[in-house]
Chains A and B, each alone.
Chain A
Amino acid sequence: MITFSNVSLIYPHSTKTVLEDLSFQIEEGEMVLIMGETGSGKSSLLRLINGLVPHHTGGILAGDIEVDGISTRSVKPGALAHLVGIVGQNPIQGFVTDIVEEELAFSMEALNVAPDVMRKRVEEVLDLLSLNSLRNRSIATLSGGEQQRVAIGAALVMQPKVLVLDEPTSALDPIAAEEVLSILHRLVHDLSVTVILAEHRLERVIQFVDRIIYIEGNGETSIGSADEILKNSDLVPPIITLARALNLSEIGTSVREVRRHTDAIRNRDYREFIEPKTSNSPAILIDWISHSYGDKKALNNVSATFHHGEIVAIMGRNGAGKSTLLHSIVGLHSPASGNVSVNGQDPTRLTGAVRRRSIGYVPQEPSDLLFASSVHDECDQADSDNQLAEGSTAALLHRLVPAISLHAHPNDLSEGQRLALVLSIVLAANPEVLVLDEPTRGLDYRAKAIFGAALKEYASHFNRPVLLATHDVELVAEISDRVLFLAEGDIVADGTTLDVLLSSPAFAPQVAKVMAPKPWLTVSDVVEALGENS
Chain B
Amino acid sequence: MKTADIVRFKGVSLFALIATSAVSAIGFLWPFIISEKQGHPQWIFLLATPFALLVLLIGISNKSLDSKSVALLAVLSALIAALRPMGTGAVGIEPMWFVLILAARVFGASFGFLLGTIAMFLSAILTGGLGPWVAYQSFAAGWVGLGVSLIPKKVKGKMEIAALAFYGIIAAEFFGIAMDLQFWPWTLGADTQLSYRAGAPLGENFSHFISYHFLSSMAWDIPRAIFTASLIFLTAKPVLHTLRRAHTRAAFMTPIEFIERVRA
Contacts and interface: CB of A to CB of B under 8 A. Distances in A.
Interface stretch (B111-119, B207-215, B254-262): B254-262
Interface size classification for chain A: 20 to 34
Given A373-B241, A409-B245, A58 B260 contact: no
Interface string B1-22: 0111000000000000000000
Given A8-B262, A20-B262, A21-B262, A58 B255 contact: yes
Interface string A42-69: 0000000000001111111111000000
Given A56-B251, A57-B251, A57-B254, A17 B262 contact: yes
A125 B245 CA distance: 39
Interface in B188-209: none
Interface in B78-119: none
Given A12-B251, A12-B254, A409-B245, A56 B3 contact: yes
Given A12-B251, A409-B245, A59 B256 contact: yes
B261 A63 contact: yes
A62 B256 contact: no
Nearest to B261: A62
B260 A62 contact: yes
Contacts of B263: 21
Contacts of B258: 60-62, 73
A236 B211 CA distance: 80
Interface residues of B, number: 18
B236 to A, nearest CB: 14
A255 interface: no
A10 B245 contact: no
Contacts, number: 55
A21 B263 CA distance: 9
Interface string A1-37: 0000010101010000100110000000000000000
A17 B67 CA distance: 27
Contacts of B256: 54-55, 58-61
Interface centre among B4, B251, B262, by most A CB within 10 Å?
Answer: B262
Interface string A129-163: 00000000000000000000000000000000000
Contacts of B254: 12, 57-59
Contacts of B259: 60-62
A507 B261 CA distance: 47
A210 to B, nearest CB: 29
Nearest to B257: A60
25 contacts: A12-B251, A12-B255, A17-B262, A20-B262, A21-B262, A54-B3, A56-B3, A56-B4, A56-B251, A57-B251, A57-B254, A58-B2, A58-B3, A58-B254, A58-B256, A59-B257, A60-B259, A61-B257, A62-B258, A62-B259, A62-B261, A63-B261, A73-B258, A373-B241, A411-B245
Interface of A: 6, 8, 10, 12, 17, 20-21, 54-63, 73, 78, 373, 409, 411
Given A56-B4, A59-B256, 16 more contacts: A8-B262, A12-B254, A17-B262, A20-B262, A21-B262, A56-B251, A57-B254, A58-B2, A58-B3, A61-B259, A62-B258, A62-B261, A62-B262, A63-B260, A63-B261, A409-B245
Interface of B: 2-4, 67-68, 241, 245, 251, 254-263
